[in-house]
A and B are shown apart, each in its own frame.
Chain A
Amino acid sequence: MPDVNQLPSAVAELESAFVAMNSSEAEKILKKSMDRFGLLKMTDSLLAPALEKIGEAWQKGELSLAQVYMSGRIAEKITLKFTNSIKSQHSGHYRLGMTVFEDFHTLGKTIVLSILCAGGYPVIDLGQGRTIDELVSETAERNLDALFVSVLMHRSALRIENLVAALRSAGLKTRLVVGGAPFLFDRLLWTRVGADEMGANASDALGIAARLSGKGSSQ
């Protein structure tokens, strides 16, 4: 029986490979784990923890956003290579959407999408610059259980309060998860605009997706 207790040391090795943007080394570590423990275990016990550590390190100022971005990109490419498509490794058909709200700064969305996809959570990309009416419509049509919203502009962050109101007026119970610079610089802002969750770094999306979909913590 393969020893899953070996995975924690592999997390550190994988984290180093991502931070160094060493795609081939990262793939070697992930493939070894997948061959021994299977895709789901590899994702939950190796890939997700490594990405979460990278997100935490960025938040503490130890890593750069470029390293978070490249880690997510490398992780997504490798996962797609292993699986040909991102099938949900987490059953329950929890439907996730992701967007940039009334804003056109897409880097945050790109990083979160990569990380969620690599972590086995298929996400519907609703694009950027989306308005309240468009998002209410899309959320209803696609029957989204959770909507991840990224913003960079402070004005867009404040307008999320209007988005929440519009979703609730439409009778939608979709959980709203927010992230982006305004929420980092004012830690109370996400509660004031009525969001349900806030990601302080892109990798928080994995734990939030796990929690909302009823899979508990991914750690």
Chain B
Amino acid sequence: MNSTQRVIQALGHSNPDRHPFFLLLTLHGARLLGMSPEKYFSRADFVADGQTRLNERFGHDCLYAFYHAALEGLAWGCPVEFRSDGPPVTTRPAAVGAGAIRSLECPSVRNDPGLSKALETISILKGRFGDSVPIVGVAISPFSLPVMQVGFEAYLDMIFEDRDLFWDLMDKNTAYTSEWAAAQLEAGATAICYFDPVASPSIIPRETYIETGWEVARKTLSLIPGPTATHMASGRALPILDDLVATKTAAVGVSCLEKLAELRARANGKIAIIGNLNGVEMCRWTPAEAAEITRRTLESAGPAGGFILSDNHGEIPFHVSFEVLDAIASAARSFIPGRNAGPNSAAPSDPGEAD
């Protein structure tokens, strides 16, 4: 079974040979190639080479075409600052004030230098790997993009105090995001990770989400001509799991703050679960700890099918060592559900739980 077959079986809630695992790595590619982040992201083939080498080293079940969140912010007009030891960040909103927000114009997906570079990376990876390893593209949801476009505080004020302006912005964002996602699929991406942290009840009350982000998700996802997974980027998902199912997304990226067993039970074959290793804590794990936590997480995930092991944020921090990643990969590859029970096999401990 190759990675694509394994992932398709998992998303289809069938019976893959083992749980697939995704190491959602970005800057580690730069490290492998001995480049600064700024240099690494300056060329499509550098990122493609980084993902290729990462896949060769760890044998995980995806290629991750995600550059960084600021790529989309930059396309919308946010200034960006690069760092030598972390992802680039946007330093200011693109638009301040209702007038500027109404005047925001959608970037041209094909002509934007950053977005078109990412499309080229996808094409290169498709040429190298064909259909053997899924290529995951990323699109920030129309509902979460305004955090960069207008600033988080201004966005929350907009959601609660100026719904007309909110919907005006959502119309533009929906057109943009669906075009961006479609372009990635056309370039060779297998599926789109729909990043939607603002949807999480960690950020917004469920009742507000239903009136706003849920409607946006239903519309946007219906316009994307391919499979999607919605990612909460460390935010909780359990209270809105049924709502996410109703958006027809195939999977959800879940937080280490919630119990995997509970998520799996609630998902009940209706939506696949992706998660939920704690990427921040991962920075201080020893390889032995990483292997043990990986094993316990896979145990708590239950039978194969409907689950993909991953970190809980959708991007593993730059400071996680290669040795820890090797240990996670090794543990994930060797774990066969039902055959690797630990000491408490009747009631596996769920490491994905906050204190």
Residues of A within 8 A of B (CB): 21, 61, 63-67, 69-70, 103-107, 110, 129, 153-156, 158, 181-182, 185-189, 192
Contact = CB atoms under 8 A, between A and B. Distances in A.
Interface of B: 81, 83, 85-87, 89-92, 151-153, 156, 159-160, 201-205, 208, 234, 236, 256-257, 278-281, 283-284, 317-319, 355
A107 B152 contact: yes
Given A129-B91, A154-B283, A69 B153 contact: yes
Contact of B153 (A107, A158, A189, A192): A107
Contacts of A106: 151-153
A67 B208 CA distance: 11
A183 to B, nearest CB: 9
Nearest to A63: B205
Contacts of B283: 154, 158, 186
Contacts of A188: 284
Contacts of B278: 185-186
B319 A154 contact: yes
A59 to B, nearest CB: 9
A153 B160 contact: no
Interface SS of B by simple majority? loop
A61 B206 CA distance: 12
User: 3 closest A-B pairs (Cβ-Cβ)?
Assistant: A155-B86, A185-B280, A107-B152
Contact of B202 (A64, A105, A107, A189): A64
A188 B281 CA distance: 9
A186 B201 contact: no
A127 to B, nearest CB: 12
Given A154-B317, A155-B86, A185-B278, 4 more contacts: A64-B202, A64-B204, A65-B203, A186-B284
A70 B156 contact: yes
B281 A64 contact: no
Contacts of A129: 81, 91
B83 A189 contact: no
6 contacts: A66-B203, A104-B81, A104-B90, A105-B152, A153-B87, A155-B318
A153 B89 contact: yes
B234 A110 contact: no
A65 B236 CA distance: 12
B280 A182 contact: yes
B153 A21 contact: no
A17 B205 CA distance: 15
B76 to A, nearest CB: 15
Given A154-B317, A185-B278, A61 B201 contact: yes
B24 to A, nearest CB: 14
B208 A104 contact: no
B280 A189 contact: yes
A129 B318 CA distance: 20
A112 to B, nearest CB: 12
A155 B85 contact: yes
Contacts of B317: 154-155
Contacts of B152: 105-107
Contacts of B85: 155
Given A61-B236, A104-B92, A154-B317, A185 B281 contact: yes
B86 A66 contact: no
A188 B284 CA distance: 10
A158 B319 contact: yes
Contact of A67 (B86, B205, B256, B281): B205
B153 A187 contact: no
A154 B202 contact: no
